[in-house]
A and B are shown apart, each in its own frame.
Chain A
């Protein structure tokens, strides 16, 4: 049996609420199938399965909120018959029912709430209570000065496990409160960006790139197309970025105690939400897509990102990020890297600028491109080479 776990959809996610199972025991699943819908800080996410096989057992009831890494279901891998005794196996971590009043994901800070009412508890007791989502204020401490100890929490846990089964049946899905999503996205962005600024030593490079050739080519192409098939300039920027990354694979990587290059170039594209906050869905295998396919991908993911209806792989698979100001906005944007990635490419707005070329000064459409790199992973030379390569591709748009 394979344990199917609550996936992490980014460095900032700690838990998710299982809203709906899309599969039932006995269903055959293959890689990429949607197995469930999970409510996270980033909205309602469709969770994909990465194994082939038959669903054995669903371990978590709908409505339960569980930490990242909790087993959600057991899957029988294809071709292997299930052994009856294995069916008995129950993972150690029990699902935790979410009370309708506890809407927000528990952050460590929520422990301080218990401080406010002067609940004394040992650090370790607090930790295991937090991990098991137990409300310390409901426990009577038996430690020194009435402090709650590990033993007290463990007793409560044992009691809860006994009544777990009946309880979980009754839990209803908590109704979504308005404003909560915007708040939780703000919290998610805050957590990821704080982590980034705290841990990643950024270096910044910038290059002004002449976009006249690219825009001329685009205009010509678009003039032959119906409205629906037209390309936006950003498609060329994404494609050129993906092409350049094939030449600088150290920038398409993650940092986890060392640089780990990623095979696929999955470009996270920053989408601003009208209600505030950002969400960064991935354009999978961007280097293998042509410009039309990238435009299709944008047409698909941007509306879904804005509606907070993304799939798990789109939130967790990005290997590098692009942030694009769009026209009429600021000239330059210096990005903050989304951990554990090691680079973010920032495109300012395209504008007409005096541009010196071959000893002549002319007015050209140009864009200021920046790269923020993780200095633990790469050096300025790599970043500079990347920007030069990006320029090369954008001067030859037909090659894209």
Chain B
């Protein structure tokens, strides 16, 4: 951690840890549970040192049973606690889906509003650490499909530190996707953590020639691509969706109305994805503002491969984004 005019340089991992620490310090109802979060310090070392600081009552190791401990978290939330439940990787996130969808997302409705489930479920997600199809995927769309859930995607360091605190204030269950490939990435953010909202998408770079809409690991890739495109005279706007459910369409529709061209970038598989939904809404609501068909760059529809070159080829990279944009603007 390095100080620089009220700014600090910090890794994504450290930003996540600060967010969890803040939450534990601010509210004694908050506790963390998950596989290896305590003594081992987290499979990805995000919760390192927290057991020593907060004790075993608040940093709980659990058996390898996602369905069991996510269900326990839901029960705790139902009875007044503010649990943070960590699911190590999104591949294991399929096991507690029954709990998340049939209980967390549904109980408020089925109890006629008597029950609220203020749980926050953090999931390690994404591609890029050669963890193969066992431990890497981009399955945000599965969860973004479910009414009753708030689904967040942590694409920046500021959100890595700030989203958890706001999420814990929500009376509804929140699923937060964190990206394991970004853990060691360093970025500069303001020293003092300010609250971030969990309702709006964010325009991270303004531009007039086209809108690049993305989330998760796409955010920094698109910003880098936009910076490079600027050197050849293409002025791209970059939007981090941040909230995958409920979508903040106001922000991206306004951008499309301004630039008239759109590229949607995501790691998730192309079919029935977040980008499908974005594209459909643009067509429904601002069709007459479009100057070109909406274009998408998505994950290749295969299980994530192990070899590095194939893994890289399975999701959009900076150069893919640059090429796609050039093609859209120059028709070449």
A–B interface present (Cβ within 8 A) = yes
Which residues on A sit within 8 Å (CB–CB) of B291? 122-125, 143, 149-150
Q: Does A202 contact B (CB under 8 A)?
A: no
Residues of B within 8 A of A127 (CB): 288-289
Cβ contacts under 8 Å, B293 to chain A:
144
Given A124-B260, A142-B331, A144-B331, check contact A149 B288 (CB 8 Å): no
- Is B287 among interface residues, defined by CB-CB distance under 8 A? yes
Set of chain B residues within 8 Å of A144, measured between Cβ atoms: 292-293, 331
Contact B290 A123 (CB under 8 A): yes
- The reply to whether A124 and B331 form a contact with Cβ atoms under 8 Å apart is no
Q: Nearest chain-B residue to A145 (Cβ)?
A: B331
Distance in angstroms between the alpha carbons of A149 and B289 in the assembled complex: 11
Dominant SS among interface residues on chain B? loop
**B residues less than 8 Å from A122 (CB atoms):** 260, 290-292
Whether A126 sits at the interface, judged by CB under 8 Å, is yes
Given A124-B260, A150-B260; A143-B288 close (CB under 8 Å): no
A143 CA / B287 CA spacing, docked (Å): 17
**Which residues of B have CB within 8 Å of A125?**
291
| CB-nearest residue of chain A to B260 | A124
Q: Quick one: which of B291-332 are within 8 Å of A by CB?
A: 291-293, 331
How far apart are the CA atoms of A126 and B293 in the complex, in Å?
Answer: 14
Q: Tell me the bound Cα distance from A143 to B293 in angstroms.
A: 11
Interface size, chain B (Cβ < 8 Å): 9
A124, A142, A144: most-surrounded residue (chain B CB, <10 A): A124
Q: Is A123 in contact with B287, judged by CB distance below 8 angstroms?
A: yes
Interface flags, A111-130, vs B, CB<8A=1, else 0: 00000000000111111000
Q: Which B residues, 104 to 144, have Cβ-Cβ distances below 8 Å to chain A?
A: none
Q: Is the pair A126, B288 in contact by a Cβ cutoff of 8 Å?
A: yes
Q: Mark A90-126, 1 if CB is under 8 A from B, else 0.
A: 0000000000000000000000000000000011111
State the Cβ distance, A139 to closest chain B Cβ, in Å.
Answer: 14
For B289, list chain A residues within 8 Å (CB): 123-124, 127
Q: Looking across the interface, which residue of chain A has its beta carbon closest to that of B328? A: A144
Cα of A123 to Cα of B290 in the assembled complex, Å = 6
Which partner residue on chain A sits nearest B283 by CB separation? A123
B258 to chain A, nearest CB (A): 11
**Nearest Cβ on chain B to A134's Cβ, whole angstroms:** 15
Cβ–Cβ < 8 Å partners of B287 in chain A: 123
Contact status A123-B331, CB under 8 Å = no
**How far apart are B291's CB and chain A's nearest CB, in angstroms?**
4
B331 and A143 form a contact (CB under 8 A): yes
Give Cα A144–Cα B292 distance, bound, in whole angstroms.
8
**Which residues of chain A are within 8 angstroms of B292 by Cβ–Cβ distance?**
122, 143-144, 147, 149
Which residues of chain A (238-260) have a CB below 8 Å from chain B?
none
Q: How far is the CB of A21 from chain B (nearest CB, A)?
A: 34
**Which residues of the partner chain B approach A149 to less than 8 Å between Cβ atoms?**
291-292
- Tell me which residues across on chain B come within 8 A of A150, comparing CB atoms: 260, 291
Residues of A close to B260: CB separation below 8 A: 122, 124, 150
Complex Cα–Cα for A126 and B289 (A): 10
Closest chain-A Cβ to B105's Cβ sits at a distance in Å of 35
Tell me, rounded to whole Å, the shortest Cβ–Cβ distance linking A356 to chain B: 53
Bound-complex Cα distance A144 to B329 (A): 10
Q: Which of B289, B291, B293, B331 has the most CB of A within 10 A?
A: B291
The CA-CA distance from A125 to B260 in the complex, in Å, is 10
Most chain B beta-carbon contacts within 10 A, residue among A123, A143, A149: A123
Query: Which chain A residue shows the least CB distance to B257?
Result: A124
Q: What mask results when residues 325 to 336 of chain A are scored 1 for a CB within 8 Å of chain B, else 0?
A: 000000000000
List the 3 closest A-B pairs by CB distance, nearest first.
A124-B291, A150-B291, A122-B291
Show 16 A/B contacts (Cβ-Cβ < 8 Å), sorted by A: A122-B260, A122-B290, A122-B291, A123-B289, A123-B290, A123-B291, A124-B290, A124-B291, A125-B291, A126-B288, A127-B288, A127-B289, A142-B331, A143-B331, A147-B292, A150-B291
Given contacts A124-B291, A142-B331, A143-B291, list 19 more A-B pairs with CB under 8 A: A122-B290, A122-B291, A122-B292, A123-B287, A123-B288, A123-B289, A123-B290, A124-B288, A124-B289, A125-B291, A126-B288, A127-B288, A143-B292, A143-B331, A144-B292, A144-B293, A144-B331, A147-B292, A150-B260
